[in-house]
Amino acid sequence: MKPINVGLLGIGTVGGGTWTVLTRNQEEITRRAGRPIQISVVADRNLERARQMTGGAVKLTDDAFSVVDDPSVDIVVELIGGYTVAKDLVLRAIANGKHVVTANKALLANHGNEIFAAAQAKGVMVAFEAAVAGGIPIIKALREGLTANRIQWIAGIINGTTNFILSEMRDKGLAFADVLKEAQRLGYAEADPTFDIEGVDAAHKATLMSAIAFGIPIQFDRCHIEGISKLDAADIRYAEQLGYRIKLLGITKRSERGVELRVHPTLIPAKRLIANVEGAMNAVLVWGDAVGATLYYGKGAGDEPTASAVIADLVDVTRLHTADPNHRVPHLAFQPDQLTDEQVIPMDAVRTAYYLRLRAQDKPGVLADITRILADMNISIDALLQREPEEGEEQTDIVVLTHVALERDVNTAIARIEALDSIAGKVTRIRMEELKG
């Protein structure tokens, strides 16, 4: 049977892994797909690297647009990243009637609505399993495996760099800046780690999962994003004492007000499985009304784990290459004309529990002032921890765990607490999630 010809845009880490795995497992992949899948042309700015990787076995070019215009190419695999040139390449490939496989979460989070609409109009597929959680097949689970469920919420550790940093801070008691340097030395963090440590990468991925879970348009611009760069090692220690772990979570859930979409450090009970995901690993917890909680765990990055997802998409596209476009799995799981216009709600309308740490003078009446302010804002206290001051100190840490409260009320309470003469500096606020069915 005639092979499916693939044009590979970018043969860096993931592109190289894709070439390696596709070559190594060619026979097995052909048996699954029903016909051979072969990379017929590779575009990369570094032709020498591409030549070394492929051994000169395929056509090489430094002109990616020539690949998407090549009539012999059936599927374009976009692995160059970014969302400027990549967007132009993907839209041109679609216009030329080619299917697209991409690992580019930033592109889809920012321009996915336009890209999927173009693909729908042209009758081609855009597959993106590798864009979220690397080798973990979470997109397929949400689009197909859990299709009978009304999904209620998703919570995911979906950035390995930040999970590695938080694990090291907890295990070794080190400061954030020290662990970041170590992560960069080991290759877990980029030279410019901003997208990872400030939560942007996780927000791209959470946005895509939210759209698939709830049948809504992609709304990255409405995602609340906080990273881990301001986390203090003291908060990690206090969380441990109280029976919690701190993880950077991407969270999306249904609420009576609409859809929540947020990325931020989160206290999770230490007994939860997801709280014990350590190092650079990823995990996604999904709760559906029929199946309950399901957990997906594995490597969220790396050459061959991500290549595994890229090639799975290639096999899916190959199987459905000649199928009626109206009978393929929709890009966002729901039929395009059945997406709702439900909006992602602002953060101040979210309800969750909170960890509050404040530096207070060690004198009578301080706790009474704090509890009165919380009570005035309808915020009830679940637990309270007050550290004994060191000898000679006049201030001490007070940690308050609240029951579920409205973010807007908590913001007001924090402002009033910070205005007290007995409070030094800012209140540290970390949200809490029980993550139980």
Q: How far is CA 148 from CA 62, 144, 294, 329, 386, in A?
A: 45, 9, 14, 14, 47
| Superfamily of structural domain 138-299 | Dihydrodipicolinate Reductase; domain 2 (3.30.360.10)
Would you place residue 373 in the very low, low, confident or very high pLDDT band (cuts 50, 70, 90)? Answer: very high
Q: Kindly list the domain boundaries of the chain, sorted by start residue.
A: 4-134+303-338, 138-299, 349-432
Q: What percent of the chain has pLDDT over 70?
A: 100
At 1 the pLDDT is: 79
Helix (H, G, I), strand (E, B) or coil at 249: strand
The answer on pLDDT for 32 being more than 70 is: yes
The answer on pLDDT for 214 being more than 90 is: yes
Would you place residue 437 in the very low, low, confident or very high pLDDT band (cuts 50, 70, 90)? Answer: low
The pTM score is 0.96
Beta strands in 70-177 (DSSP E): 75-78, 99-102, 126-127, 151-157
The amino acid present at 68, given as its one-letter code, is V
At 205 the pLDDT is: 98
Q: What is the mean pLDDT of the chain?
A: 95
Q: What percent of the chain has pLDDT over 90?
A: 89
Residues 18 and 129: their CA atoms lie apart, in Å, by 13
Query: For residue 4, which of 39, 28, 32, 29 has the smallest C-alpha distance?
Result: 39
The answer on pLDDT for 15 being more than 90 is: yes
Q: pLDDT of 163-179, one tens digit each?
A: 999 999 999 999 999 99
CATH topology of 138-299 equal to that of 349-432?
A: no
Place of tokens 């029976």: 243
At 5 the pLDDT is: 98
The answer on pLDDT for 322 being more than 80 is: no
Query: For residue 74, which of 61, 93, 88 has the smallest C-alpha distance?
Result: 93
Q: pLDDT of 140-167, one tens digit each?
A: 999 999 999 999 999 999 999 999 999 9
Q: 25 in the Ramachandran plot: left (φ > 0), alpha (ψ -120 to 50) or beta?
A: alpha
What average pLDDT does the segment 68-91 reach? Answer: 97
Residues 4 and 134: their CA atoms lie apart, in Å, by 24
At 427 the pLDDT is: 97
Tallying the residues shown for the chain, one arrives at: 437
Would you place residue 388 in the very low, low, confident or very high pLDDT band (cuts 50, 70, 90)? Answer: confident
Residues 354 and 97: their CA atoms lie apart, in Å, by 50
- The residues, ordered by sequence, that sit 6+ positions from 290 with a Cβ below 8 Å of its Cβ are 148, 149, 150
At 324 the pLDDT is: 83
Q: Is 205 in the active site?
A: yes
At 394 the pLDDT is: 84
The answer on pLDDT for 139 being more than 90 is: yes
Residues 298 and 136: their CA atoms lie apart, in Å, by 6
Would you place residue 391 in the very low, low, confident or very high pLDDT band (cuts 50, 70, 90)? Answer: confident
Which range has the worst mean pLDDT, 301-305, 388-392, 421-425?
388-392
Residues 14 and 37: their CA atoms lie apart, in Å, by 17
The answer to whether the Cα torsion of 110, 111, 117, 120 is positive or negative is negative
At 118 the pLDDT is: 98
Terminal-residue alpha carbon distance, the chain: 48
Would you identify the CATH topology of the domain 349-432? Alpha-Beta Plaits (3.30.70)
At 174 the pLDDT is: 93
Write phi, then psi, for 126 (nearest 5 degrees): -120, 110
At 132 the pLDDT is: 97
Q: pLDDT of 239-290, one tens digit each?
A: 999 999 999 999 999 998 899 999 999 999 999 999 999 999 999 999 999 9
Reply yes or no on domain 4-134+303-338 having CATH 1.10.10.10: no
CB 379 within 8 A of CB 387: no
Q: pLDDT of 325-356, one tens digit each?
A: 888 999 998 989 899 988 899 999 999 999 99
Catalytic-role residue among 205, 247, 253, 299 = 205
Query: For residue 388, which of 373, 375, 401, 398 has the smallest C-alpha distance?
Result: 398
Residues 48 and 111: their CA atoms lie apart, in Å, by 32
- The residues, ordered by sequence, that sit 6+ positions from 394 with a Cβ below 8 Å of its Cβ are 361, 362
Beta strands in 208-277 (DSSP E): 224-225, 244-255, 258-269
Element (H, E) at 401: strand 395-402
